[in-house]
Structure 1
Amino acid sequence: MTPFLSQALANGWGLLLPALFVLLQLFAALSALHAIRNVRTSQAAVAWTVGLLTLPYAFVPAYWILARNRFAGYREAVRSVGRQHRESLSSIEQELLTPVDTRTTSLVSPLEQVADVLDTPISTNNQFSLLVDGQQFLDALLEQIASAEHYIYAEFYIIRDDKFGNRFADALIAQAESGKVVRLLYDEVGCIGLSASYIRRLTEAGVDAIPFNTRQGWVNRFQLNFRNHRKLLVVDGQRAVTGGLNIGDEYLGNHDWVTRWRDTAIAIQGPLVRKIQAVFAADYYWAKRHGLPEAKWQDRDPKSDNSTTESTSYSAICATGPADNRARATMMFAAAANAATERLWISTPYLVPDESTVTALSMARAKGVDVRLLIPNQADLWLVYLAGFYYEAELKSLGIEVHRYTDGFLHQKCVLVDDKLAIIGSTNLDNRSLYLNFEMMVAIDQPDFVREVAEMLRKDFASSTVAKVPGPHLQPWYGRFGTVVARLFSPIL
């Protein structure tokens, strides 16, 4: 290379690198302005702005990949498919929606208050079985799959290629090979470690196994922030299982880092199952742009939702997600807190609430309500775990007890309001579940079931401790520093 060419290249790089640096700083500043105007909360806007301006190399790509909190195209996809499958779309809307901003109940019970706020209809005449921990969940799951006469719908955030996962796969394959329609939705991020051979074994046996595909379409192409966190099984539109457990050995407590996995699910029979089926149908419409021709919507039990028979069982589906026009997950927690007059007990594996939820909890405590939160003493996601210490201290300063579960890892998502309402499902009390995940909770007003949930939570609280703040585990400087950093970025966790 001639000296002239070498000098020209050197001069070129000497000009190009500073120009790229200036352009990156300018783009980071423009991104920060975009964050200030468009990010959901002021805390999240501050977190992104600080990161963009101080570490642009890392935060500029992260912002444009992770920061959006509105999921584009979901509702439009459901409507588009619905034009070809009008009966199914009408059934979905009937099962899941009531007229927006229209009072449909007397607002007397906590369930009515939650249902009216979420514009979701109330179902009657259902039967519920509480499933405590993984073995009961696995037994109910396999029993319901084996009982299928026509079709099976399954949707899970995580599926493992392990002993539990293969028992689940074998059960689905057996039914598909016997001529049943079997459809499986899974989240791509949650199942990122799932082997291709596992999915291939299902599809070769006739199981319609497809990813939820949150990155579908150009608008969502680079969005890695959304998840389908729902866990559900529907059999023949008549029976269902749902709750907080996924498919994997750790949910049975068979894992290296956890000796017991504390979780809760529900087995359901009755008209409410069609509403869970409607949640699956909408997700399936998005994932595959195709209807569910085999789904039963009209063959209702004589004791249907509209039955005049007196019932002591009332329930509703709280299906929320980033395609909602409102912050419906936050509204669910706020409505439950507002309805409480005696106690509000919440069990959640992650404690990163938004301001609205903290305010709702503090208002309930100010009314004299016994407000308690149960969280794990063991971590699985360290940044979220550290952020929880900040909110634990904040809630304790408001007179709200925060208990740490010590008998294994706590993963259950459960809300108990007085002696009148139990809400169980997949929604954590953190920003991801409140705003970025597709979630589903079941709200149940059935005296015997609520008493059973209350007794379950009493045992859980008995296996917990009320930690002092800051606690000996946060005395080292690096622990305190980690909590501050985690708190700063908690709105985007």
Structure 2
Amino acid sequence: MTRITLPSRRLTALFSAALLLSLLLGGCAELPSLAGRTHSVTLLDTADTKLAQAIMPLAAQHPGVSGIYALSDGRDAFAARALLAAAAQRTLDVEYYIWHKDITGTLLFDALRQAAERGVRVRLLLDDNNTAELDDTLALLSKQPNLEIRLFNPFALRSPRALGFLTDFSRLNRRMHNKSFTADNQATIVGGRNVGDEYFGAAGDVLFADLDVLVIGSVVGAVSQDFDRYWNSPSAYPATLLIKPPSRGDAGDIALEADRIDDTKAAEEYVQAMRTSPFVQQLIERQLPFEWAPTRLVSDDPAKVLDKARPGSGVAANLKNLLGVPSKELDLVSPYFVPGKSGTQAFAELAKEGVNVRILTNALEATDVAAVHAGYAKWRKPLLEAGVTLYESRRSWDEGDAREKTGRFGSSASSLHAKTFAVDDRRIFVGSFNFDPRSIDLNTEMGLVIDSPALAGKLGQAMRGSIPQRAYQVLLQPDGTLYWIARDAHGGITRYDTEPGTSVWKRMGVAILSVLPIDWLL
């Protein structure tokens, strides 16, 4: 008989005290009133700005459509943001889920500060879930005239943040996952990247293989209006209402920190690599080869984080309507792929009807969230039985210098983070939406549906060509067990009968997580 050991009285007392303290702190911490918050909207009088003068002649040649340039390289993605911030003359509207205080994060903070110092109106909207280490920096930035920061769905109790979940879990578990960077209502960047070294190819260890698009033309106005919707929503709180003002210093301290980072070897090498990028020269010289196509914004209602959004109004429903039902091809890239029973059934039905369904997600060795892999792993067998092709992105592969050969979805020692899918090589989505319950039901998401056979076809070509050499393909044996194969550039194949690149302990942990009823949290 197994003996059950009850907690000691001392442990019970400590637990009770901690719970009581959390309830007291959580109960005392309330969000401030928004009575004095100002209402602001997109500035439309930007036709005389440098960006407008460069973009409007191009847009006039392509009325009603938008110019799209894919930013698959992390350094190009950082450069695009930095150059837009430097070029802006009237307004910068910026929203992100994560913003790290590292090389690229600090440099972009300073780029926003410099823009505000020039007289540009800067509105920065950050989801509050990942700002625990930023309060001091945000307090300094808030002292810069023309620069306002709002925190979306914030924690009333600033520290320790975790205690807030005990008393307000249903609200705080819902987050703003949106990502956009818009300058002068003329150009915007939308996609999967947050702000941080790992997203921009500056990290020393693991890089996120990601995808953004730089966009000009008709859809930019819709992105600006959507930003207004979030900025003025009941969930967007001025940072100054939540963060204590700095005891000393001002926004100039951000410039000093950026100067200090600029002098480091890592930053010098990164900035030099960015400056020599062909993309930078093409952008400066107005030579970027934009793909012009009908483009529509899909975005959740910010009321979703309060569980008050109108049913059927979200990104998931709109994507189905705008992308249409695949008749031949469906290519889906999602780093956090948790299809659930209904999603698995939908993919299976498509495959059984003759649609080539190809899905790329992270392998266990490459994922940064093992619990999400557990939520996905249980559905591999029924997907494979229905004829779905499954690829799992490897952490690394032998392809020479990864810095020189970064592909659309990968680099050496990388974790997949791009979120994109294409239907029938005709239409493609690029944005923040993961195919998981969290994106569908809990977080707000946004992205662009682009009617472009050229862009959609590139994803299809990658899934049929380069991806099989950069990912494991998951296959099913006659007895129902899984195995993985890795292909190399020379046609060689290596077989694995367990999750490649993982320990038995990690596999056991995932197996335990996979039987827990936590899919709705993933």
Tell me the TM-score range normalised by the shorter chain: 0.5 to 0.7
1:171-227 deviation line (CA, Å, top 9, x unaligned): 1111100101001011111233x3323213322223211211256899995532011
- TM alignment of 1:30-69, pairs within 5 A: none
Contact 1:245 1:263 survives alignment (8 Å): yes
1:332-364 deviation line (CA, Å, top 9, x unaligned): 454578521111000011111233322322222
The Cα of 1:392 is off from its aligned counterpart by: 2.2
Partner Cα distance (1:346, 1:333) in 2: 13
1:424 pairs with 2:430: yes
1:76-114 deviation line (CA, Å, top 9, x unaligned): x9xxx99x88x98xxxxxxxxxxxxxxxxxxxxxxxxxx
The structure where helix makes up a greater share of residues is: 1
Identify if the C-alpha distance between structure 1 residues 312 and 139 changes in structure 2 by more than 3 Å, giving closer, same or farther. Answer: closer
Partner Cα distance (2:215, 2:506) in 1: 47
1:326 pairs with 2:311: yes
Q: Equivalent residue of 2:92, what SS?
A: strand
The Cα of 1:235 is off from its aligned counterpart by: 1.2
Partner of 2:183: 235
Partner of 1:405: 393
Partner of 2:328: 342
Partner of 1:466: 473
Partner Cα distance (2:98, 2:191) in 1: 13
Partner of 1:205: 144
1:276 pairs with 2:214: no
1:225 pairs, out of 161, 164, 173, with: 173
Identify if the C-alpha distance between structure 1 residues 460 and 262 changes in structure 2 by more than 3 Å, giving closer, same or farther. Answer: farther
Partner of 1:5: none
The Cα of 1:412 is off from its aligned counterpart by: 0.3
Amino acid at match of 2:521: I
1:451 pairs, out of 436, 457, 469, with: 457
The Cα of 1:269 is off from its aligned counterpart by: 0.4
1:26-85 deviation line (CA, Å, top 9, x unaligned): xxxxxxxxxxxxxxxxxxxxxxxxxxxxxxx99xx99xx9xxxxxxxxxxx9xxx99x88
Amino acid at match of 1:467: V
Amino acid at match of 1:203: S
Amino acid at match of 2:212: A
Q: Equivalent residue of 1:227, what SS?
A: coil
1:195 pairs, out of 129, 134, 139, with: 134
Identify if the C-alpha distance between structure 1 residues 485 and 313 changes in structure 2 by more than 3 Å, giving closer, same or farther. Answer: same
- TM alignment of 1:110-121, pairs within 5 A: none
Amino acid at match of 2:134: S
1:237-274 deviation line (CA, Å, top 9, x unaligned): 1210010001101113444551x321000000012011
Partner Cα distance (1:150, 1:232) in 2: 17
Moved more, 402-411 or 176-185: 402-411
| RMSD over aligned Cα atoms | 3.8
Partner of 1:373: 359
Q: Equivalent residue of 1:356, what SS?
A: helix
Q: Equivalent residue of 1:438, what SS?
A: coil
Partner Cα distance (2:128, 2:329) in 1: 38
- TM alignment of 1:76-155, pairs within 5 A: 124-155=64-95
1:158 pairs, out of 88, 91, 98, with: 98
Identify if the C-alpha distance between structure 1 residues 331 and 360 changes in structure 2 by more than 3 Å, giving closer, same or farther. Answer: farther
Partner of 1:317: 297
Partner Cα distance (2:453, 2:185) in 1: 25
Structure 1 runs not aligned, ≥5 long: 1-13, 18-23, 25-56, 66-76, 89-122, 291-310
Partner Cα distance (2:455, 2:389) in 1: 25
Partner of 2:494: none
Q: Equivalent residue of 1:352, what SS?
A: coil
Contact 2:335 2:418 survives alignment (8 Å): yes
Partner Cα distance (1:456, 1:216) in 2: 45
1:306-351 deviation line (CA, Å, top 9, x unaligned): xxxxx97211111125343225343345457852111100001111
Q: Equivalent residue of 2:310, what SS?
A: coil
Partner of 1:485: 513
Identify if the C-alpha distance between structure 1 residues 456 and 234 changes in structure 2 by more than 3 Å, giving closer, same or farther. Answer: farther
Partner Cα distance (1:486, 1:288) in 2: 35
Q: Equivalent residue of 1:345, what SS?
A: strand
Amino acid at match of 1:243: G
Structure 2 runs not aligned, ≥5 long: 1-8, 27-33, 43-62, 158-163, 239-290, 397-413, 476-481, 484-496
The Cα of 1:483 is off from its aligned counterpart by: 2.6
Contact 1:156 1:187 survives alignment (8 Å): yes
Moved more, 221-230 or 150-159: 221-230
Percentage of identical aligned residues: 23
Structure 2 length normalisation: TM-score?
Answer: 0.63
Partner Cα distance (2:505, 2:461) in 1: 40
Q: Equivalent residue of 1:269, what SS?
A: strand
Partner Cα distance (2:138, 2:326) in 1: 45
Contact 1:338 1:364 survives alignment (8 Å): no
